[in-house]
Amino acid sequence: MTKRLILMRHAKSGWDDPTLDDHDRPLNGRGRVSAKALGEWLKIKKIMPNQALVSSAARTRETFALLGIACSAQFDRNLYLAPSSRMLKALKTARGERVLMIGHNPGIAEFAHDLMREAPSHKRFYDYPTCATLVVDFEISDWSELTLGTGSLVDFVIPRELTG
């Protein structure tokens, strides 16, 4: 059986209000455009999650909302600025066949790298820019069986490839 992960970094956030705590920063205009474009890309490619694990930060919640995807979502404070190890632990508790996980750098870039059997040749994979999205399959029947270094690339995209 195959499980699919859609691993997305939040869209570009704003810094307009210096009094806001980092956790509370919203997306900026470019980020909103990118999140909507990624939602359309997922729909066109028929890569629709049936579960979402999302950091509780304002920018990740807003990214998820703008994707326009109807699936159950868990907003988790433990995913806020989470390292790769914490993201793996959260993913191992997932129940969906196709799971969307939205998080933050540097942890999400590290997690993406750790998951792959062979990294994509995309020049932006290692720095994982805002709203970068990796789609990866695993030959497992339950997320609890997931081990690092076993993912097979389905796709990797960044917003500039979709919005010009």
Residue 112 CB partners (closer than 8 Å, separation 6+): 7, 125, 128, 134
Cis geometry, peptide bond prior to residue 106 (ω within 30 degrees of 0): yes
Give the closest residue to 2 by CA, choosing from 135, 156, 158, 121: 135
Tell whether the model's pLDDT for residue 164 goes beyond 80: no
Domain boundaries defined on the chain = 3-11+23-124+134-163
Q: Kindly state the tokens that stand for 39.
A: 């939602």
pLDDT digits over 64-120, tens only?
A: 999 999 999 999 999 999 999 999 999 999 999 999 999 999 999 999 999 999 999
Q: Kindly state the tokens that stand for 64.
A: 């998820």
Burial (CB < 10 A; 0-12, 13-18, 19+), residue 29, is exposed
Do 47 and 155 form a contact (C-beta atoms < 8 A)? yes
Fold of 3-11+23-124+134-163: Rossmann fold (3.40.50)
Torsion of CA 91, 95, 101, 105, to 10 degrees: -10
Instruction: Give the CA radius of gyration of the chain.
Output: 15
Task: Give the containing element (helix H, strand E) for 154.
Answer: strand 152-157
pLDDT digits over 13-58, tens only?
A: 998 888 999 999 999 999 999 999 999 999 999 999 999 999 999 9
Paired with 92 in beta bridges are: none
Kindly state the average pLDDT of the residues 149-156.
97
Half-sphere exposure of 72 (CA within 13 A, CB side): 8
